Structure 1
């Protein structure tokens, strides 16, 4: 008995299921399928289904004459879809409702509607035998200010558009650029009156559209769109003593950045960088930069409003970031009035993750690699051994690395993620204040210390003061002053060194006929020392010694190799220059760029001008700690040709130019000092 009841219930449920799964079908068309007498003035076809539908649709063109007007269709209710058409007299048309894989007409259960071919032919143009009357097209009955007006009050606060019938509530106020009114708020005063609150400028021409061929959301309750109208008007000049707005002639300014420019300890969980300007913007953008210091952008960048842009990012802990708002060659951050934002660089540094954040962060992204307490102890002791025997600057901060790492090993009493172990090692090694000291996890390297440096350059101001500016790739620019002083900016020695060498040769060829040259290295943080030798080789004859170093050697009594001297040679493959050279430098110059500075000291007519360099040159090598984790340790102590170790001190300029950050707001005093020096 129970078995029979169960079978009955199952059968009943299956019957209900089959009944609910019946595919939808077209119950009615507003034209007769196959008709040869359809009104050629018809603007829409209504398609009604036999059951409630989802909001997708699939009107498919498969050969033949397709009647669609290009305007997006809409749902009149949950069963009736409006297909907008554009017809001509005495012509045959066809289209499909769902077809093969294009089947997004679906019911609420997701079942696609049965495919249906619709064919018809239009009648002659007099429309006397039409099968359906043309829907009532909404019309504009008044616009404030009047279309074509030339003496509009610049203090007018509202643009008002009135229609002859109730409207759907949508809108397409089209246009853009500096001729489009600055709209602060949009609303419907009633179902026939549209209002746009605006801020207008005196003596200014304006244009906007009520709908357009591709944007037709001003439509009546019947679903029919207003025919597109272009509206123009011009405001009068401000009267004497009148408080009227005038279009800004000055470039827009950044009024706030999140995180703040130059801030330290930024939360690495921050999800977005936000920039707000003081003027309405055009909607374009130039977020410039690249490499490891450029924030990882993970989703679509969006304008929150006309003045605020939101950049979704994924940040790393204990990491310094840099990006540009515009650049000398990329200026798409501009006001809606066409004025670009002045180029500026933004820097900030994130704090490290705490223990809970590290575990939660890496578990959330799917990392479940666990390091046992025993492995952690082994890792800490191995790190202590490597710091004591392989680190060239182990004594610079007077730390007892072996004992510190042993102390960390004794605290390892429970399993942890590998990422947390690496984060703790980064925290410890940051105390060495060595930009070349790093930790590597599964092949991905992370720095342990990146100090915030205050630059001493305004490249935009430099380039603005010269003519014949020419970019050679992304990282090298050449230019000339009016009195024939050449200028070359080399912003990096890292990347495709073959291309960089080629681009430098191109730049030098552009300016080698100058009576003097400025070589600007102030934004260069190093890269490949071999490339540095090829660049410097264009300014000497024969061979020259430029630097010394000692390399870590645990087998020697001192722990280091004998002192070795490094040389560079005349570059016979590139152009040469023997005139006076001013080499601009600052505290962003480090690593292989400092080697280039030392080389240029040996060029007979070169003078180093600016502030001391960073003082960081390590020639780092990787060493295994445990499986999957390595430490990158500087392997040498770099010296000047006189045998002075310059780590933490920097290379000293021949001409010191002391400056403050505010000095570079609209000028570049280091560049100006170099011009005066060369002229003298």
Structure 2
């Protein structure tokens, strides 16, 4: 069986390679109104472009400008993976011209990044009786909407609006000197001195200084890169501060140009290709004995940054934020914090799925984890911070020793995975009790216990003080999904609940994303039913669980029950039982029943899984594994399922201990190992930056099993 799976996977990979190598660029199948038509109804309010294959729905290039460019009357958008819509407001008896891509702008691309060959579209509207208003109103911020035209016509109806006389460099110039130091915009009327130079990102010119040379001449001092496309807006829908002294704003105009390559012997700026690096972190990564009075965590990078951030992590190990996160300058990020004494902290600079620490030029910082530990407060600091002995809960040495021994007993008798890491918990706790010499605050005991329990590497194992639970372990699972990209390739998207989304593939397969089994359980349950009903006649369904961190196993049974008939065994477990000879109960089998309250689906199901599937979601994965019409595709799950129960250590301190060992139907405990897919998709993180190999494998599987 193993050899068959490997052979099938090899054939699948070979097929992918052959398909990619022979992929043709996309073509325009249909344009409405038709290209060249001479009697288009002036009441037409949208232009529709249909392509012959799935497209990259994050970009487009509708090019052109001037009075013959169709007036926008809403936001351009993809209505499906192959259909693009331009909302317009047309004039009667008027010639219109625009481009689908151009020589310089080729952002209409297939999902494999093959660009559409440029197409010039021309049509003329029919005459209309009566007076037709010639007023135009730009409805969208052309920069933020992503329109890659070479200019947007002004409002011809407002004769008092200032007009742009010249722009240097000229709109559409593709041979701009990369050493150009000034962008100059000249108007035909005296201006107020305000400005709205709109846009952002890697295509926005790097501004060094902005000023008015005189009442009609605006200057932006810039530094440009060679061989680079630039764009910015002179005003926009929401920012209109380029305004004449008569109070009328300049109509929004999109300016685009491109610099040439540097010539022999010429010194030019080149776009950085290396991602930014962390130069320093204060406190230092891995440092011990950090002053608990530290007020800031400071991260410094080696190049100018975009201003975004992704400080990742959570739980008790994540530093408490005590103010506004901010950039001190373009390379220095500051986190105001309030730290606890004798505490281990951990956070991430970016993560596999959150990468908003980026350079100004769009390159993300390589994900890294940062950890440090604070020292304990000394007596002088306790007095200084007015944490008087009377205001702290102080435990005597006898009470601390008793607490350590109680923890050791609980770990040996009530913790289901006590043997997994090979730690002799009672001995370790006895050793910690031996180090106690004097009365200490209860918080310090809790922190020491948390440190010891962290060696179990069990995300379900926690400790609580005065009712507040803290985890003892943080893990960063392998990232194997890009749900945003997936949804960009699909049509008819519907959000049924906060954690349930459905859409349809171009081949008619249903796609259902279930992001959690926690929160509003009723909303998630009903949302899933709504989603599945949409696809009752579909040839197959993709159930995407890759972002699901678990929650309620009963909800998982209701979901999986829609895909089976009768009753199926799906998992086994043993539970702690201190009274038994082994310390555990007999093996218990868990069953899944057909869900008569939800919609039934008996077609093929591709279940997408990976390292973020954890806890009760792993139970749902086992349910789907038992379903005869379902196939698991992707990577192994996290391998963490505990059914934790709380136990008292000492007054005010409790531990939350996993109470069972979760098993597959083969009675194999999968803690720390995870559940393997039926079809492996081994892909690197960078393959999910602009795609999703696991989703594509799911589609291929359904196509081959229709």
Tell me the TM-score normalised to structure 2 length: 0.59
**CA separation of 1:295 and 1:559: change in aligned 2, threshold 3 A:** same
Q: Tell me the distance in 2 between the aligned counterparts of 1:434 and 1:483.
A: 42
Q: Tell me the distance in 2 between the aligned counterparts of 1:446 and 1:513.
A: 47
Contact 1:479 1:511 in 2 (8 A): no
**CA separation of 1:427 and 1:492: change in aligned 2, threshold 3 A:** same
Q: Tell me the distance in 1 between the aligned counterparts of 2:679 and 2:635.
A: 8
Query: 1:279-678 to 2 correspondence within 5 Å?
Result: 298-302=322-326, 304=328, 312=336, 318=344, 348=369, 350-355=371-376, 368-678=392-702
Q: Tell me the distance in 2 between the aligned counterparts of 1:235 and 1:318.
A: 52
Q: Tell me by how many angstroms 1:632 deviates.
A: 0.8
**CA separation of 1:301 and 1:595: change in aligned 2, threshold 3 A:** same
1:492-548: CA deviation from partner (whole Å, max 9, x where unpaired): 212221222122222222333321111111222211111111111111122222112
Q: Residue in 2 aligned with 1:52?
A: none
Q: Tell me the distance in 1 between the aligned counterparts of 2:616 and 2:383.
A: 34
Q: Tell me the distance in 1 between the aligned counterparts of 2:673 and 2:695.
A: 23
Contact 2:275 2:359 in 1 (8 A): no
**Structure 1 residue 175 and structure 2 residue 196: aligned?**
yes
Q: Tell me the distance in 2 between the aligned counterparts of 1:357 and 1:506.
A: 59
Q: Tell me by how many angstroms 1:151 deviates.
A: 4.8
**CA separation of 1:432 and 1:203: change in aligned 2, threshold 3 A:** closer
**CA separation of 1:587 and 1:286: change in aligned 2, threshold 3 A:** closer
1:306-346: CA deviation from partner (whole Å, max 9, x where unpaired): 79876656688556657989999xx999999xx9x799996
Q: Tell me the distance in 2 between the aligned counterparts of 1:365 and 1:576.
A: 64
**CA separation of 1:258 and 1:516: change in aligned 2, threshold 3 A:** farther
1:626-657: CA deviation from partner (whole Å, max 9, x where unpaired): 11111111111112122222222222222222
1:11-43: CA deviation from partner (whole Å, max 9, x where unpaired): xxxxxxxxxxxxxxxxxxxxxxxxxxxxxxxxx
Q: How many residues align?
A: 503
**CA separation of 1:546 and 1:520: change in aligned 2, threshold 3 A:** same
Contact 1:494 1:528 in 2 (8 A): yes
**CA separation of 1:357 and 1:347: change in aligned 2, threshold 3 A:** farther
Q: Residue in 2 aligned with 1:67?
A: none
Q: Tell me by how many angstroms 1:214 deviates.
A: 10
**CA separation of 1:575 and 1:563: change in aligned 2, threshold 3 A:** same
1:198-223: CA deviation from partner (whole Å, max 9, x where unpaired): 357989675379xx99999xxxxxxx
Q: Residue in 1 aligned with 2:75?
A: none
Q: Tell me the distance in 2 between the aligned counterparts of 1:358 and 1:455.
A: 46
1:238-279: CA deviation from partner (whole Å, max 9, x where unpaired): 6977889x9x9x9x997457999xx98599968458698999
1:148-199: CA deviation from partner (whole Å, max 9, x where unpaired): 32455766535799xxxxxxxxx9744242399753236899xxx9986335
Query: Considering only CA atoms, is the larger Rg found in Structure 1 or Structure 2?
Result: 1
Q: Tell me by how many angstroms 1:410 deviates.
A: 1.0
Contact 1:477 1:490 in 2 (8 A): yes
The worse-fitting range, judged by mean Cα deviation, of 464-473 and 352-361 is: 352-361
Q: Tell me the distance in 1 between the aligned counterparts of 2:366 and 2:495.
A: 19
Alpha-carbon RMSD across the aligned residues, in angstroms, is 5.1
Q: Tell me by how many angstroms 1:471 deviates.
A: 2.6
Q: Residue in 2 aligned with 1:110?
A: none
Q: Tell me the distance in 2 between the aligned counterparts of 1:441 and 1:666.
A: 44
**Structure 1 residue 207 and structure 2 residue 224: aligned?**
no
Contact 2:205 2:231 in 1 (8 A): no
Q: Tell me the distance in 2 between the aligned counterparts of 1:617 and 1:383.
A: 21
**CA separation of 1:396 and 1:500: change in aligned 2, threshold 3 A:** same
The unaligned stretches of length 5 or more in structure 2 are 1-162, 171-175, 186-191
Q: Residue in 2 aligned with 1:679?
A: 703
Contact 2:458 2:473 in 1 (8 A): yes
Q: Tell me the distance in 2 between the aligned counterparts of 1:438 and 1:616.
A: 14
Q: Describe the SS at the equivalent of 1:566.
A: strand
**CA separation of 1:660 and 1:502: change in aligned 2, threshold 3 A:** same
1:39-83: CA deviation from partner (whole Å, max 9, x where unpaired): xxxxxxxxxxxxxxxxxxxxxxxxxxxxxxxxxxxxxxxxxxxxx
**CA separation of 1:240 and 1:158: change in aligned 2, threshold 3 A:** closer
**CA separation of 1:343 and 1:457: change in aligned 2, threshold 3 A:** farther
The unaligned stretches of length 5 or more in structure 1 are 1-145, 162-170, 217-225
Q: Tell me by how many angstroms 1:601 deviates.
A: 1.4
Contact 1:586 1:613 in 2 (8 A): yes
**CA separation of 1:481 and 1:384: change in aligned 2, threshold 3 A:** same
Contact 1:319 1:450 in 2 (8 A): no
Q: Residue 149 of structure 1: which of 155, 161, 166 is its match? A: 166
Q: Tell me the distance in 2 between the aligned counterparts of 1:181 and 1:344.
A: 22
